[in-house]
Chains A and B, each alone.
Chain A
Amino acid sequence: NAGVTQTPKFQVLKTGQSMTLQCAQDMNHEYMSWYRQDPGMGLRLIHYSVGAGITDQGEVPNGYNVSRSTTEDFPLRLLSAAPSQTSVYFCASRNRDGHYGYTFGSGTRLTVV
């Protein structure tokens, strides 16, 4: 029962570098989202997807790109990392019925120096 798998768990980047945070779920969930968690800010929505080929922006999308080519995978791309993107990133998924909330991955702690 893997659920939502995020890789890597930790990452250090230099300013200006690019990278992709991976997210995969094996529950055949249609809906997937990326959140970032900062101290004292709770979790804020970056991007989300309601199905393969469909993505949309959340509250804090700047500096991030996403794509959804398959139901299982929803990678988050940082094109040119900035110190302001130092955060903990969570991927989450849920099925069509929103009653039961989201299943979260274990998070990626990203530090941009």
Chain B
Amino acid sequence: AQTVTQSQPEMSVQEAETVTLSCTYDTSESDYYLFWYKQPPSRQMILVIRQEAYKQQNATENRFSVNFQKAAKSFSLKISDSQLGDAAMYFCAYSYYSGAGSYQLTFGKGTKLSVIP
């Protein structure tokens, strides 16, 4: 079974600094997708960034970037120039083709990020 592990239940970062959230996953699949979702106190799940496993280039979305190490099965999220609005729970998620045309998400347990003014 596929598993996603986020080893840091909580992290904090000073405003304007850089922080990296860790994620590892276990899979025997070769074609899959990885995502980082942000959940602020509003509870809404917001897609931050995604990565296709067949792409070697790391995905980037403005201040958010990933370090994707396929052999190591590692998918960390780097947030640069942290802002107060980045404070949230962050979930790493994995998706693969599971038959019948479905791509179901498997989530990690989340990392709660606090931003210190």
Contact = CB atoms under 8 A, between A and B. Distances in A.
Interface of A: 30-31, 33, 35, 40-45, 48, 50, 54, 56, 58, 88, 90, 92, 94, 96, 98-102, 104, 106-107, 109
The SS class assigned to the B binding surface is strand
B52 interface: yes
B105 A33 contact: yes
A107 B45 CA distance: 9
Given A42-B107, A42-B109, A104 B45 contact: yes
Interface stretch (B12-20, B72-80, B94-102): B94-102
A98 B101 CA distance: 9
A70 B18 CA distance: 46
Contact of B104 (A40, A45, A88): A45
A85 B85 CA distance: 31
